[in-house]
Amino acid sequence: MIRVLIVDDSAVLRQSTRFILESDAGMKVVGEAGNGLDAITLVDRLQPDVITMDIRMPKMDGLEAIRAIMAEHPVPIVVVSSLDPDRDADLTTQATKLGAVSVMQRPQSTAAPDYKTFATRLIDQVKLMSTVKVVRRKLTKRADLPEGVIKGPAAAPQSKVKTDILAIGSSTGGPAALHQILSALPGTLPVPIVIVQHISFGFVEGLASWLNDACALKVKVGRAGEKIQAGTVYIAPDDHHMLVDRLGRLALSPGELVGGHRPSVTPLFESVAQSYGPAAMGVILTGMGADGAVGMQVLHSAGGITLAQDEASCIVFGMPKEAIALGAVQQVVALDRMAQVIQDLIVV
Catalytic residue numbers?
A: 171, 198, 291
Residues 84, 105 contacting (CB under 8 angstroms): no
Residues 171, 286 contacting (CB under 8 angstroms): yes
- Cα-atom radius of gyration of the chain, to the nearest Å? 20
10 Å Cβ neighbour count for 137?
A: 21
CA pair distance 127, 4, nearest whole angstrom: 10
Contacts of residue 236, defined as CB under 8 A and 6 or more positions apart, other chains included, come to: 194, 195, 196, 197, 204, 221, 222, 242, 252, 263, 268
- The CA-based angle 255-128-103, given to 5 degrees, is 65
Q: Which among 100, 146, 143 has a CA at the least distance from the CA of 125?
A: 100
Q: Using CB atoms within 10 Å of the CB of residue 110, give its burial: 0 to 12 exposed, 13 to 18 middle, 19+ buried.
A: middle
> Where are the alpha helices (H) located in the chain, listed in sequence order?
11-22, 36-46, 62-72, 85-98, 115-129, 174-182, 204-214, 265-276, 293-301, 318-325, 335-345
Burial 222-254 (b: 16+ CB within 10 A, else e): beeebebeebbbbbbbeebbbbbeeeeebbbee
Residues 139, 68 contacting (CB under 8 angstroms): yes
